Chain A
Amino acid sequence: MLGFIVRRILTAILVVFLTSIFVFVLLYKGVANPAGPVCDAQGRCTAERLAAIEASMGLNDPILQQYGEFAGGVFTGRTVSFGETEYDCPAPCLGVSYGTRGLITDELVDRLPATISLAVGASIIYLVVGVTLGVLAAKKRGTATDRVLVSSSLVVSSIPYYLFCLLAYIFLVLKYPVFDETGYLPITEGVGAFFLAMLLPWLVLGLFSSSNYARFTRGQMVETLGEDYIRTASAKGVSGNKVVFGHALRAAIVPIVTIFGLDFAALLGGTIFTEQIFRIDGIGLWALDAVTRPPLDFPVVIATVLVVAVIITIANLVVDIVYGFLDPRVRIS
C-alpha cells in the first residue's frame, strides 16, 4: 500500500510538472507578443519601450531558462521586473499580475475561498440529492415515480448548464427577486449573510449536477439490489430500509465516491459559468477576466491552470486511496 501511494505521488508530481511546462511554453511561445500587454498597460507603447520591457522580463532568453526562473520562483521567490519597475515576489511566487500589479499568490489566496465554498456547497447538495433520488428510483424501479425521476433527470442534464444557470439568475434574482443578493461574501461578514448569498448558486449548480448522480446511483443500485446476498438478507428478515441502505448502498457507493472525487476536482476548475453569471469572484472568473479583458494577464492564467492541476491530481490520489478503504475487495498492490 505504501509503495503504491509513493508511486502515485511521484506520478502526480510528474503530471503537475508537465502541465506547468506545457502551459508556460504554450502561452509564452504561442502568443504573438507576450510583452505587449505589459507595454500597453503603461501608456503609449513605443518600439524601444517594448524592447526594453522584453529584455527586462527575460523574454529573449531561451524558453526553458524562462521556465526555470518561473519554477525556481515558486520555491525560493524572485524579483519580477517590468521595464523600470521591479517587484519583490517572496517564496511561493507565481509572478506578478500584468493588470493589477499585485502578487499572484496574494490574489489567488483572496479568490480561492469563493471557489472552494461554491464547490463544497454545491457538491454536498448534488451528492445528497443525487444519491437520495437514485436510491428512491432504484427502490421503486419500474413504477411511475421511477420513470418520472429518470426522464426528468435526463431532460435536466440534456440542457446546457449555462442556460439553466442563466435562467435561474434572470428569473430568481432579476425578475422575481426571491434571492435578493447573490455572490460571495466572506464568512467573516456574518454566517447568515454568507449562506443567503451563496444559496442560489449552490442550489443551481447542485441540482443540475445531481441529475447525473441520480441516474448513476440508480444504475448501481439496480445492479446491487439484484445480487444474491440482498435476497439472502431480505429472506433472513432484515428490514427493507436496512437492506437498501445498509447492504445495497454500502456496495453501490464505491463507484459513486470515485466519480464524486473526480467531479469535485473538475468543479473547482469548472465553476467558470456559475462564477460568471452570479459574479462570484472566484478563480474561474479571475482566469476568464484575465483572458477576455485587456491586458492579457499570463501569470493569472498560468497560476489558475497550475492550481487546478494540483487540486485534480490530489483528488485523484485521494480517490485511489479511499477506494481501498471503502471496498475491502480492492487491495491495491
Chain B
Amino acid sequence: MTLQPGLEPGVVAEREDASRENDPQSSKKLASKSPTQIALQRLRKDKVAVVCGSILLLLIVLALAAPLITRAMGIFPEINSPGAGNLGADLDQFGYPEIGPPYYGFTWEHPLGIAPSRGVDNLANLLYGLRTSLLVATLATIISTFVGITIGLMAGFSRGWLDRFLSFVIDLFLSFPFLLGALTLAPILTSRFSTDLDALDRAQLLGLVAVLVIFGWMSLARLIRGQVLSLREREFVQSAQVIGVPTRRILFKELLPNMVAPIVVATSLSLPAYVAAEAGLSYLGIGLTGQPSLGQTILLATEYYSTYGLYLWVPVGVVAVLVLALNLLGDSVRDAFDPRTRR
C-alpha cells in the first residue's frame, strides 16, 4: 500500500506489471510505454470494461445516428416535427395508442409503440432523449474538467490568500446540495426565456449544463490542488523554477502531465454522474421540459405503469443501463490507472 519514495505511481505500476507477467518479452516492451499506454492495455484485458465499452459504443452510435434512423423509419420525436401531422390519428378516445406493441402486435412503423396522449413515437423519443442526455453530460464533463483543472492548479500553486480563498469556495460549493442549487437556478431560466420556445429549449439545455458544471467542478479542483501541493516540492519543479521557467509553463508542461491519471479517472467517473443528474433533474421537472429527455419521459410515463408498461420500462432500462455501464467502465479505468485500488 505504501508508495515507494521517489517513484512515480506509473513506475510502480510498471514494476508490478512486469513482475506479474513473467514473460520476458513483454517486460522488455514495457520500458518504452507511457503509464497511459499501460493503463489502456490493462483496460483491454478487463472483461467488464470491454462489455461496458461495447454497450456504450452502441448507445453512442444510436444517439449520433438518431436523425438518420428516425428519418429512415419515418418516426418523429415531437408532435410538431415537420411531416408528422397525423400523430393523433393512432390514438383512441382515451389517449391510448391503437397501433404497435404491446397490445396490437409489433409493427415497424412504431417498434416501441406510441406515447399515450402525446402521440409521439417512443423509439424516436428515446433516441433523441439519449442524444440530449449524452450531449449534456459530455459538455458538462468537458467544461467542468477544464474549470476544475484551472482552479485546482491555481489554488495548489499559489501560496497564501488565493489558495485559502479558492479552498474556501471549493468547500462552500462542495457542502451545498446539488439538487437544491439546481432548484434555485431553474426558475430563472424559465422566466427569462418563456416567451420564445426555441430559445427556451436552448437556454434550458445550456442552463442544465451550467448547473451541472457549477456543482461539479469542485472534486476535481480539490484533487488537482492536493496533487500540485505534493508535486510542487519535487526537485524537477524546483529546478524548473530556479532556471526561470515561466509559471504557466511549469503548470502546464511540468505539473499537468504528471496528473493525467487522476484527471482521466475523475472524468470517467463524472460522466455517469452527469447522465444520472440530467435525467434526474428532468424527472423532477426542473431540467428539460420542451425537448425529448429520458428523465422527462420517465416522469410522464410513471402514471401509465400498469396500463402501458412499455412506455415506462424502456426509458428506465436505458437510463439504468447507460449509467451502470458508464460507472462500471469508470471503475475499470480507475483500476487500470491505479492497480493499488483493487485489493
- A residues with CB within 8 A of B: 15, 18-19, 23, 26-27, 30-33, 36, 141, 154-155, 157-163, 166-167, 170, 174-175, 219, 222-223, 226, 262, 265-266, 269-270, 272-273, 276, 284, 287-288, 291-292, 296, 301, 304-305, 308-309, 312-313, 316
Contact = CB atoms under 8 A, between A and B. Distances in A.
A130 to B, nearest CB: 18
Interface in B320-338: 320, 323-324, 327-328, 331
Contact of B188 (A27, A158, A166): A27
Contact of A304 (B175, B180, B187, B286): B180
B40 interface: no
Contact of B191 (A23, A32, A161, A301): A32
Contact of B343 (A30, A163, A222, A270): A222
A31 B188 contact: yes
Given A26-B188, A36-B191, 8 more contacts: A27-B188, A154-B327, A158-B327, A160-B280, A166-B298, A272-B284, A288-B285, A291-B183
Interface residues of B, number: 37
Contacts of A305: 180, 184
Given A154-B331, A304-B180, A305-B184, A174 B306 contact: yes
Given A27-B188, A158-B272, A270 B324 contact: no
Given A269-B180, A296-B191, A163 B175 contact: no
Name, among B187, B286, B302, B306, the residue most crowded by chain A CB atoms within 10 Å (CB to CB). B187
A269 B272 contact: no
B339 to A, nearest CB: 15
CB-based closest 4 A-B pairs:
A158-B327, A269-B177, A30-B188, A160-B276
A215 B283 CA distance: 28
Nearest to B180: A269
A154 B331 CA distance: 9
Which secondary structure dominates where chain B touches chain A? helix
Contact of B280 (A23, A141, A273, A309): A273
Contacts of A296: 187, 191
Contact of A292 (B175, B284, B327): B284
Name, among B178, B191, B286, the residue most crowded by chain A CB atoms within 10 Å (CB to CB). B191
B191 A262 contact: no
B106 interface: no
A265 B180 CA distance: 13
Which secondary structure dominates where chain A touches chain B? helix
A151 to B, nearest CB: 10
B177 A270 contact: yes
Nearest to B195: A32
11 contacts: A15-B172, A33-B191, A36-B191, A174-B305, A174-B306, A262-B175, A270-B180, A284-B179, A288-B284, A305-B180, A316-B175
A170 B313 CA distance: 11
B192 interface: yes
Contacts of B328: 154, 158
B284 A309 contact: no
A226 B302 CA distance: 49
A292 B285 contact: yes
B188 A19 contact: no
A27 B189 CA distance: 11
B79 interface: no
A46 B121 CA distance: 41
B228 interface: no
Contact of A163 (B186, B286, B316): B316
Contacts of B305: 170, 174-175
A216 to B, nearest CB: 13
Contacts of A154: 327-328, 331
A301 B176 contact: no
Contacts of B205: none
Interface in B171-223: 172, 175-180, 183-188, 191-192
A141 B319 CA distance: 32
B1 interface: yes
B63 interface: no
Contacts of B172: 15, 18-19
A80 B168 CA distance: 35
